[in-house]
Structure 1
Amino acid sequence: METLFYILVFGVVIFLLSMLFKEKRIVPPLTIILISIVAFIISILIGGWEGIGLAYMSFNAFTASIINIFIMTIINKSKKNKKPGN
């Protein structure tokens, strides 16, 4: 349950950050994906309980970013499919 909570919190924060960008809403999720991959690699180098904690949070951020990319894609496609005047 805790993992779902963290994914939801990360997801909402990433979604709100994405709304700040008008044209390039996909940039914040992609940036978070890159940061979480780097954090995961660093967590392997750290090791121990601290490394496990960092890996856990980077996994949650990565998952939330992937979900946000799917949501942004659906939103963008639905906006493009709407015709003006309807």
Structure 2
Amino acid sequence: MLALIGEERKMDGISTFSLVTAGLALFITIVSFLLFKRKRVFVPGVTLLIGLALFVLSFVIGGWEGMGLGVISLSLLIASFISLTLLMFYETYKRMKSTRPKE
């Protein structure tokens, strides 16, 4: 226990990638809720397309710069897919709740 007090906690690559992806997914979802009332899936759809374009561009650039761009675009792709899935489930739940007959 005392040995842990003086040590610095360092994040490895996977935990950093996961934290960035979760933050991006949260950001995309919040922006979708704040900006659009009817078409909430617009923002995740656009970010999904941007992520795909950046991923393809990372292969064209190549080298270390392309690898960094590829990791960032992969994180953006995963985050927008998570956000899109959550928003689709929310819209389906809201639609099912509004069409349910009242007792």
Q: Partner of 1:23: helix, strand, or coil?
A: coil
Note if 1:39 corresponds to 2:34: no
Consecutive unaligned residues in structure 2, runs of 5 or more: 1-14
Identity %: 30
* Greater RCO, 1 or 2 (C-alpha within 8 Å, sep 6+): 1
Match in the other structure for 2:39: 24
Note if 1:71 corresponds to 2:86: yes
Return the alpha-carbon distance in structure 2 between the equivalents of residues 4 and 64 of structure 1: 10
Cα RMSD of the aligned pairs, angstroms, is 1.6
Return the alpha-carbon distance in structure 1 between the equivalents of residues 70 and 21 of structure 2: 14
Return the alpha-carbon distance in structure 2 between the equivalents of residues 70 and 44 of structure 1: 27
Give TM-score scaled by structure 1 length.
0.91
Give TM-score scaled by structure 2 length.
0.77
Consecutive unaligned residues in structure 1, runs of 5 or more: none
Q: Which amino acid aligns with 2:52?
A: I
